[in-house]
Amino acid sequence: MSLAFVFPGQGSQQVGMGKALAEAFPEAGAVFREADEALGFPISKLCFEGPESELQLTANSQPAILTVSVACARLLMERGVRPAAVAGHSLGEYSALVTAGALTYEDAVLAVHRRGVYMQEAVPVGEGAMAALLGIDLAEADQVCADVSADGSGIVSVANDNAPGQIVVAGGTAAVLRAVSLARERGARRAMRLPVSAPFHCALMAPARHRLAEDLERIPFSDLAIPLVTNVDARPVRTGEEARDALIRQVTARVRWTESIQALREIGVSAAVEVGTGQILAGLVRRVDPRLRVTSIGDPASLEAAAALAAQA
């Protein structure tokens, strides 16, 4: 059995995340202190105590999620648990690259904080939206988006191919609402707007992509000690330049999560640990390939369960 680490993205944040790990393990607490020092504000306090309204802000939630994921990964690896491959869902790709040795933690936490700022500023509040389309396949979702864009309703495209029958679209608010209506007409089991503050992973994020690219070009990227399956191409990469390019392109490109899990299977992965708060990715991985054994880590008890699964690898 070959093990992969998979890292969650935005939406997995919750008040209290990482607190039990930081209290139980000094090395986890050190990760939060490093983040506080690098950012110049107490992201640890937002993680542990909230308020939720502040933690939900994109510029805060992104470094918060990264910090918890890096703390979890360090705990696993210090206990001899080493993955054969890594992957991250959108923002989670930064956590994966820290774990793979391509990015320093300090560079990553600063980059994702700015990434969150750029994404929020790219589209004025209210002018962009995202929606989940459940019970239709990727080809049907692509056709819905193409038809909405063609009828003059505006920009909308598939943002996340999360699992079979679980698609997220993003774009201008009017276009997304039209896509929701059309998907329902065409048999979607459920279609609903999501409570997010910006239309991630679509063409409207181009201003954020350009600003982030300038930042990432100034950051040194090392070649990876562990292969990363990227969001944008759903294939493994090993060089720092490939990793940098993938991070830049992913801002406006769809998250190809279904294909990414399939790519992990193709390189021999048979078990996965979701490294960070929540269990969103564990559920998606099971939907993509029920043969994969998967667990999640986010507290001391789940750390032991993940270490036990890894011991079988």
Catalytically annotated residues: 90, 201
Strand partners, 295: 273
* Residues 98 and 106 sit within 8 Å (Cβ to Cβ): no
CA pair distance 35, 13, nearest whole angstrom: 16
Q: 117 CB contacts (<8 Å, ≥6 apart)?
A: 58, 59
Residue 53 class from Cβ within 10 Å (0-12 exposed, 13-18 middle, 19+ buried)? Answer: exposed
C-beta neighbour count of 152 within 10 angstroms: 9
Of 57, 72, 59, 83, the closest CA to residue 105 belongs to 72
The C-alpha angle 133, 118, 274, rounded to 5 degrees, equals: 55
Q: Are strands 190-193 and 166-172 parallel, antiparallel or unpaired?
A: unpaired
CA distances from 95 to 30, 106, 107, 109 (A): 16, 11, 11, 9
Strand partners, 163: 166
Q: Name the E strands within the chain.
A: 2-7, 85-88, 128-134, 156-163, 166-172, 190-193, 228-229, 236-237, 255-256, 269-275, 293-297
Structure token digits, residue 275: 């490294």
